[in-house]
Amino acid sequence: MQQISRSAHLSPIVAPMILLHLTVTGFSSLRLSSSTPVTHVARYAASPRSVTMQHDGKGFGGGEATRDPPPTVYDPSDPKGKQQAIHKAESFAEYLAKRGGFSDSHKSGVCEPRGAAAATAVSKVAPATAPASGSPYAVLADAYFADIRRELALLMDNPSWDDGSLAPVLIRLAWHSSGTYDKASGTGGSNGAGMRFDAEASDCENAGLHTARAFLEPVKRKFPGISYSDLWVLAAYVGIEHTGGPSIAFRPGRVDWEGEHELLAGGWCNPMPRGGHGRLPGAEKYVAYDSADAAGRPSGWQKLCGHIRDEVFYRMGFGDREIVALLCGGHVYGRCHRGSSGYAGAWVEHPTRFSNEYATDMLEDEWRLVGHEDTWLDDMGAAELRPAAGNRQYVNKCPLGTGGDDANQMMLLSDMALAWDPDFRVHLEAFAADEAMLAREFGAAFKKLTELGCEGVLQPEVAAGGLAAAR
């Protein structure tokens, strides 16, 4: 089965896919009350803002920065690999410090006040309501978040990670944390950072995201005033902007859940039901491969479109155009891993740069449905595109040699649905024709996604200026 459109040739990807073999885990955390982040922000204002992290772990300096650490081994005392993931993140933080991102004026690595200024700063706690624009607290918050942005920007380029960038996995972390929102019940969303707990972390759609959370741990320890839920969202915003995408204005104020019981009260289960909690999209849901229509589309694809609309995005309050904008902007980043999701490969040739390549390639390339048994991909140098046994995906290759000179790319069934469904396709074609329009609408839709369910806690936007102002 294949899509009938033809492709323009793309140059091959030369960077190999690098995998980190870890299992899903979550982080435990004490709840940050609404006033706690502000206290840290106030303390921070009285201290120097050029700070470096200090660690005892092995660094990424020199040649170590150009190769992936050895595969994680099973440790009976650390069955979920949490400590090894944190060690990898801390090692990279040490590498960044050696690279000279910040001065070492604070050896503790935590922004704390000193001397007489400390008493003054600590007294400046946050008001019960959101601060007025231009108030002293708002100014302090802007300075605090500007330095967090700077730290996150330094984190993005990582030679040991997929295609040399952490941006894609951090964008996915914020998306999956936010994409659980249900407007009917008011549950889910980015507020709470529920993925720190097994009830949410163990969802099969969140496989591999424990590494994203681990890479942010040193930043959280250095800036304790920001909640995990705010940090995950801000990291995604910085990642998008760092890779050439739109600048998204950030609103802080999300509060972390105190414990898993708050997740369970919102409808999650532990242990997780087979197939997950159902709030995140399934790539092949309702699709059968016993027959196909005249265009080669497998039976059940219309039901898959219904799943994307009714069970996922309409449930959160999105319309068709926003759905397409989110997928076009989000799936230009990163790649799928056979060992995590069961799917394999990158959507686009350049998976660490914002573009409308996802939309253009879907419409212009020829796509063929494959499974794990399609070993002819190996002979074409495209073994990385063979999904795990039992999974199916589309690839820009053909056993007769078509696509052999193109970069190895794939599309999920849920991606191809945007080209098959006429109401989705009209928006796909619009974004394929206008990258600037995609940037604007993706930025707006992603901001909406990450603020769903947070209306009661979010504060005013941090001062404009984006990443450039934080450099």
Question: Which of 268, 347, 350, 367 is flagged as catalytic?
Answer: 347
C-alpha to C-alpha distance for 255 and 250, rounded to whole angstroms = 15
Using alpha carbons, list the distances in angstroms from residue 269 to 27, 90, 185, 192, 395.
17, 32, 16, 16, 35
Catalytic residue at 268?
Answer: no
Using alpha carbons, list the distances in angstroms from residue 51 to 111, 147, 466.
7, 9, 21
Residues 6+ apart with CB under 8 A from 7: 361, 364, 365, 366, 396, 403, 406
- Burial of residue 373, with CB atoms counted within 10 A of its CB: 0-12 exposed, 13-18 middle, 19 or more buried: exposed
- Burial of residue 269, with CB atoms counted within 10 A of its CB: 0-12 exposed, 13-18 middle, 19 or more buried: exposed
C-alpha to C-alpha distance for 79 and 59, rounded to whole angstroms = 24
Task: Quote the longest CA-to-CA distance of the chain.
Answer: 77
Count the Cβ atoms, other than its own, within 10 Å of residue 44: 25
Alpha helices (H) along 276-330? 301-306, 314-316, 320-330
C-alpha to C-alpha distance for 132 and 122, rounded to whole angstroms = 19
Q: Which helix (H) or strand (E) is 437 found in, with range?
A: helix 435-451
Question: Which of 176, 210, 242, 350 is flagged as catalytic?
Answer: 176
Residue whose tokens read 């409308």: 356
Catalytic residue at 176?
Answer: yes
**Residues identified as active-site:** 176, 347
